[in-house]
Amino acid sequence: MKKIFKYTLVTLMFSSMISCHDLDVDPVAIIQEDIVFGGKDQINSYLYNLYFKLPIEDFRYKIDRDQPFREDWTHKSTDWNVMNYHNVGITVSHGWWPYDDIRRVNHFIEQIEEVVNDNPKFTEEQKNQWLGEGHFIRAYFYFALVKRKGGVPIIDEVQEYDPENIENLMVSRDTEEDCWDFISSDLQKAIDLMGENSPERGRANKYVAAALKSRAMLYAGSIAKYGDEDIYNSDIYKHFVGLPKGKANDYFQESYNAAKLLEGRYSLYNKHADKEKNFVELFLDHDSPENIFVKDFYEPRIGDGRTAHNFDAVTSPKPMIGDGPSYTHPSINALELFGPIKTKDSDGTLHPVDSPTEFFRVFNQFESRVYATFYFPGEQLRGKTIDVQKGIFPMYTGNPDTDEFITGGGSSQTTFWEAPDGSNYEINGSCGFDINDGTSSGIFQRKYIQYNREIKDVRLYNCFQSWIDIRYAEILLNRAEAAFELEMFSDAFAQYKTIRERAGASIEFDAGSLTLEEIRLERRRELMFENHSWWDLRRWRTFDKEFDNKPLRALYPFWVYDGDAKYKGKSIFVLRDEFGNRKSTFPKQFYYEKIPENELNKNPNLYPQNPGY
């Protein structure tokens, strides 16, 4: 008897395929399996829906207590919580439990194995590609789930509902170790089954699967090495959270081997001799040889699904956008990861400058990658100058903490101060500071910004740059870290050196003196604003030590009306904790997110709840 399976055929399929396919199907149908999986287009349509549901932490990803992967107009990256974006509150995705999506993937895998394998019109290569993609997608879901929850139920086949035997659906949690091994196994199957080239942009091949395996196994190795042994060995948690330390090197070796598999298949982006321009363009070049797994966005919108995003409209300074809130921006803590910021001369007094450009490009000379990652005051974007100023010192005596200054407020538009001589001077820059639609740190993000669009076109739901989910630089950093953990120091240094050279950064270590801390720091610099830091700090188990109760930093530009001749008519930059005294926080319990309460209520076999909840 043929199975009858009810499902939704979504006319908005995975966004990277939209421009290639015109799907003429009923939105909801009950269709026999030999029809659903009887033709290439139907199979691909089902597959695109699975890709579309992948929990990719892209421009539209939002941390939300109940719906962490909803497509929301806001752009609130996970990196905001580790000082890359300038916000304080941490909301974890307690409610996410994607077993409905996992069921669809299991159904796909089963039908490829049962229905498609019996269909002689499909080649073995086609069957294996589809089956490999199914295993890749399932591993992607489980990786996203396990790194949040620890051990969860491993369900690798479609569960059938039987009202007479509900207990069969009330599965128990598997250990975290079993979950990571399942992810590894699924990804190895994907590597073995798929071909070397993706059938279409945005779909996986064997190297995409290897790249994800490198990422996932590095995470597992870190949990095994740096996780809490007491929790892992406790009678309460029964290995549902944590990994045995003895498995650490096994996972690091898997990560290393998977990363090495990509050698020669991809390369770092180096199309431009100017290293600053090169690092800017690698995030905007559709055909970058560094891209491994990419999610594209297009217009027009299709139905209720939005295929565009809002990144530029919420990240660019307010005067450089047509509409949007302009509320995400980096903190100075992020900039300080590249090294100390100079504000003072050798005598300990603040250094006066004639322009912001002098401060950021002459007095402070950062590596090229910094200028490609951040926009600083005085620089140009879409034909306008980034104008940032906190206020004016009417009389500066040399002490920015006690000297009285004048500041505006309430608007991102420039306001004016009337000086004793009757002249009017701008108080704040047009880009705003410490107000709605303005920066709270003094700088803005440049990475991923489409700088050459006209201002009128930079609007909500009208941004189309691709999200690079996996790029080769990450793989080299994965390899460097895994190699170092395995005491393969020369190999670790070679990958580290390659990344630094492309960044236009000096190399201050050799293979004998390179440290794990420096490799980790380099990873945070290179991958900043790409939604890695939140997870890296969690897997290293350093989040609570580094960021709990840590003040947010800002770089305040002031103009001096009068005072010592050294400062009169000049600008100074004051580096300090925010005036609002905001701080970050990270309780240790956040290393694992809670199992959803509603799931525990439905299925007591999911207990125990994770530590701290």
- Residue 90's pLDDT band, with cuts at 50, 70 and 90, is very low
Report whether pLDDT(582) > 80.
Answer: no
Interacting residues of 373 by C-beta distance below 8 A, sequence separation 6+: 279, 445, 446, 447, 528, 529
β pairing state of 374-375 and 424-426: unpaired
Q: Summarize pLDDT for 503-523 with one digit per residue, the tens.
A: 999 999 899 999 999 999 999
DSSP single-letter state for residue 373:
H
Q: Which residue is associated with the tokens 């898997």? A: 254
Poorest-confidence range of 25-29, 194-198, 262-266?
25-29
- Residue 371's pLDDT band, with cuts at 50, 70 and 90, is very high
178-184 average pLDDT score? 98
Please give the share of the chain, as a percent, with pLDDT higher than 90. 71
The residue count for the chain:
613
Residue 293 contacts residue 470 (beta carbons within 8 Å): yes
Report whether pLDDT(93) > 60.
Answer: no
What was the pLDDT predicted at 79?
34
Q: Summarize pLDDT for 372-429 with one digit per residue, the tens.
A: 999 999 999 999 999 999 999 999 999 999 999 998 765 555 688 999 999 999 999 9
What is the rounded distance in angstroms from the CA atom of residue 522 to the CA atom of residue 569? 39
- Residue 238's pLDDT band, with cuts at 50, 70 and 90, is confident
Q: What is the mean pLDDT of the chain?
A: 87
128-150 average pLDDT score? 97
- Residue 556's pLDDT band, with cuts at 50, 70 and 90, is very high
190-204 average pLDDT score? 97
Q: Summarize pLDDT for 250-261 with one digit per residue, the tens.
A: 999 999 999 999
What was the pLDDT predicted at 91?
40
Residues facing residue 577 across a β-bridge: 553
What was the pLDDT predicted at 330?
87
Q: Summarize pLDDT for 159-179 with one digit per residue, the tens.
A: 888 777 878 888 999 999 999
Burial of 354 per CB tally in 10 Å (0-12, 13-18, 19+):
exposed
What was the pLDDT predicted at 112?
95
What was the pLDDT predicted at 456?
95
Q: Summarize pLDDT for 293-346 with one digit per residue, the tens.
A: 999 988 755 544 557 888 999 899 999 999 888 888 888 999 999 999 999 999
Cis preceding linkage at 400, omega within 30:
no
439-446 average pLDDT score? 91
Which has the closest alpha carbon to 125: 188, 189, 195, 190? 195
Interacting residues of 601 by C-beta distance below 8 A, sequence separation 6+: none
CATH 1.25.40.390 in the chain, residue ranges: 125-152+170-294+471-547
Single pTM value for the model? 0.90
Report whether pLDDT(85) > 80.
Answer: no
β pairing state of 467-471 and 291-295: antiparallel
Q: Which amino acid is present at 436?
A: N
Domain 125-152+170-294+471-547, architecture per CATH: Alpha Horseshoe (1.25)
Report whether pLDDT(31) > 70.
Answer: no
What was the pLDDT predicted at 301?
55
Report whether pLDDT(39) > 60.
Answer: yes
Q: Summarize pLDDT for 595-611 with one digit per residue, the tens.
A: 999 999 999 999 999 99
What was the pLDDT predicted at 409?
62
What is the rounded distance in angstroms from the CA atom of residue 304 to the CA atom of residue 88? 32
